Structure 1
Amino acid sequence: MSKFHVLIPAAGSGSRMGSELPKQYLPLLGKPLIHHAIAMFVQVPRIASVHVVISADDALWDERAVDYGNKFQVHRNGGATRAATVLNGLNAMADEVDSQDWILVHDAARPGLSASLLASLLDSLEHDEVGGLLAIPLADTLKRADPQQRVSNTEPRDGLWQAQTPQMFRYEILQRALQLAGGAPTDEAQAVEALGLKPKLVPGELRNLKITYPQDLRIAAAILLADAKENQAS
């Protein structure tokens, strides 16, 4: 029976946050941003292992890391791009996974993934031939800007979805896709699509936002605080 493994690439700098501290280490409710992603996965029994890939020279990890238990591992072989970091992580865990095991690649900067949303992804894709990803249909009107930041035209949004993570594919498929990927695919699904495959879109939620700008931290904090209050009341 195929197992589920999580891979979290965390070798980036998050320059759009305007902070000298790499984004994955920014504080959120008193803990590094990446902690919230890791902690959720290690608590889910269906997840066999959780792997974080950081830069070889990352000195901040040892200062901020905690003990996440025996299903957790860190690999210090991050690459120059997201795709390279994920591929390096796959290679590092090769001896511990089967070629048909599922790999869930998740952003270190998505602290709002819930256990129910993760379960929906696993249940939807466990027997799928290709795999897929969480995503949400676009609701806002899309405008394309010209070089002067004026609207050049309005883009039709029919059939458009905003990709989220986790993105879930078989180890063998994902490794091959990233090995063959030209340029720098912005996510794992794009690399898999280049193989001629069609990943499945699994409905996500707005709460699973990626922290990109400073104001996003406040939104994430509000979501996690609401979760904590709900858990205390139940």
Structure 2
Amino acid sequence: MTEASTPRCYALLPCAGVGSRSGAALPKQYVNIAGRAMVAHTLAALAEVPRLAATLVVLASEDAVFEQHVPGFAGERGWVCRRGGVQRADTVAGGLEELLARGARPQDWVLVHDAARCLVRPEWVDRLIDACLADEVGGLLALPVADTLKRAEDGRVAETLPRSDKWAAQTPQMFRIGLLREALVRAGTAVTDDASAIEALGLRPLLIEGDAANLKVTWPSDFMLAERVLAARTKANP
């Protein structure tokens, strides 16, 4: 395989949401954590993954503050577009179209990552790439479920579910651009992660063990935890 035909890897951050569950007064991706906006921490980690040809941030059309919170991001490996939609799947779909418009190919890989997973580490991303590059489908970081699972009904436990085969999905999730594009078109906007759309095509993504620290900052208490972790990392690596 020639260098020109070797599939490249791109990261895509859907960053058009408002984070209504966070309780923050502004979109949660811009909340200051350990000295800078949450999304800035996420992008800094992805910038340390050399195999990513570029990282595309997909914003809402009316977003006028990204550049204030992440100054100097745009460049050869830092791309921004304002093609976000109402649902996450709309935003990812818009981002895929932008990648293709910027020269990415359908056979290239895209690693879709939640901006709110600001504790991501470059080595976790590399682990995902290593596992997926030779795979026909792709895969995602995930963790085996450790807690006992209950199904609720009218505010009470209806049953206890077996957990031995349950995994909690994380991001990044890595698939071919063309395949994910087709999957999202067919699945519609109701899917909550990219793997679900791929599964709807009858395919089975790889599960690559992630890390419990790859937290998605969602609830108010998550911000405090992320602050402590990032502050400790900064102290350890000044």
Give the TM-score range, shorter chain: over 0.9
Rounded Cα–Cα distance in structure 1 between residues aligned with 2:146 and 2:116: 22
Contact 2:48 2:122 survives alignment (8 Å) = no
Rounded Cα–Cα distance in structure 2 between residues aligned with 1:193 and 1:165: 16
Are the structure 2 counterparts of residues 156 and 86 from structure 1 closer, same or farther at C-alpha, using a change threshold of 3 Å? same
Identical aligned pairs, as a percentage?
A: 46
2:58 maps to 53
Q: Which 4+ stretches in 1 moved above 6 angstroms?
A: none
2:88 maps to 82
1:31 maps to 36
1:164 maps to 170
Contact 2:40 2:69 survives alignment (8 Å) = no
Contact 2:90 2:189 survives alignment (8 Å) = no
- Structure 2: gaps spanning 5 or more residues: 1-5
Amino acid at match of 2:173: Q
Rounded Cα–Cα distance in structure 1 between residues aligned with 2:236 and 2:61: 39
Equivalent residue runs for 1:38-187 within 5 Å? 38-68=43-73, 69-95=75-101, 96-147=103-154, 149-187=155-193
Post-superposition shift, 1:19? 2.1
1:208 maps to 214
Rounded Cα–Cα distance in structure 2 between residues aligned with 1:220 and 1:14: 16
- Structure 1: gaps spanning 5 or more residues: none
Q: Cα RMSD between the aligned structures?
A: 1.3
TM-score by length of 1: 0.95
Rounded Cα–Cα distance in structure 2 between residues aligned with 1:5 and 1:62: 21
- SS of the counterpart of 2:71? coil
Contact 1:56 1:77 survives alignment (8 Å) = yes
Contact 1:143 1:151 survives alignment (8 Å) = yes
Contact 2:142 2:207 survives alignment (8 Å) = yes
Post-superposition shift, 1:218? 1.6
| Alignment coverage as a number of residue pairs | 231
Contact 1:207 1:220 survives alignment (8 Å) = no
Does residue 15 (structure 1) correspond to residue 20 (structure 2)? The answer is: yes
Rounded Cα–Cα distance in structure 1 between residues aligned with 2:189 and 2:52: 31
TM-score by length of 2: 0.93
